[in-house]
Amino acid sequence: MKHGLPYVRAGQVVGLLGGSFDPAHEGHAHISREALKRFGLDQLWWLVSPGNPLKERGPAPLEQRMARARAVMDHPRVKISDFEAQVGTHYTAETLQALMQAAPGVRFVWLMGADNLQQFDQWQDWQWIIENVPVGVLARPGQRIAARHAKAADIYRFARLRGREAQVLAQGEAPRWCFVNVPMLDISSTAIRARGGWG
């Protein structure tokens, strides 16, 4: 397939977890395994970004972050991709448009943490994203209340599925999103960098 994307067939459901993965850690692997189960995904792709437009400091070199991601995430249905660097996109909406062109007929689900839902309305073309791709939100227990008051959650309240409907998130047309509680591991890339465990 174009741009080194993993092999995928039309009709399959692919979850997309984007981020700088600076560095990737067991927390990312844990939510990926949970997302595969909760949202009925055939595959899950980590989209390791060249950089995050909302962050001032640049991440570690892409090759280093890709190698670490492959070492951390060892699962036959989870693939590591540098698609954004290959096609030159900078924003999630651009990346999703490019993926839809590169893999027609694939049913993509955008995955994010509840913390991202709270700032989702600051993303470039965020309404295009939610109106074109189902969104699965993974939350630590206790994060639900703050996330429920996010601007995006309020505007698209009508499109929210209940947690028990998570398995069918990708089976309908966007806008549709679902919020599931996932026991989280208390690990963050920021904390790893602060301890000098990376780079």
Domains of the chain: 2-194 (3.40.50.620)
Predicted TM-score (pTM) of the model is 0.88
Q: Starting at the edge strand that comes first in sequence, how are the strands of the sheet with 78-81 ordered?
A: 78-81, 43-48, 13-19, 107-113, 135-139, 177-181, 160-161
Q: What string of pLDDT tens digits covers the 199 residues of the chain?
A: 456 789 999 999 999 999 999 889 888 899 999 999 999 999 999 999 987 666 666 788 899 999 999 999 989 999 999 999 999 998 999 999 999 999 999 999 999 988 889 899 999 999 999 999 999 999 876 666 677 789 999 999 999 999 899 999 999 999 999 999 887 655 554 554 455 554 5
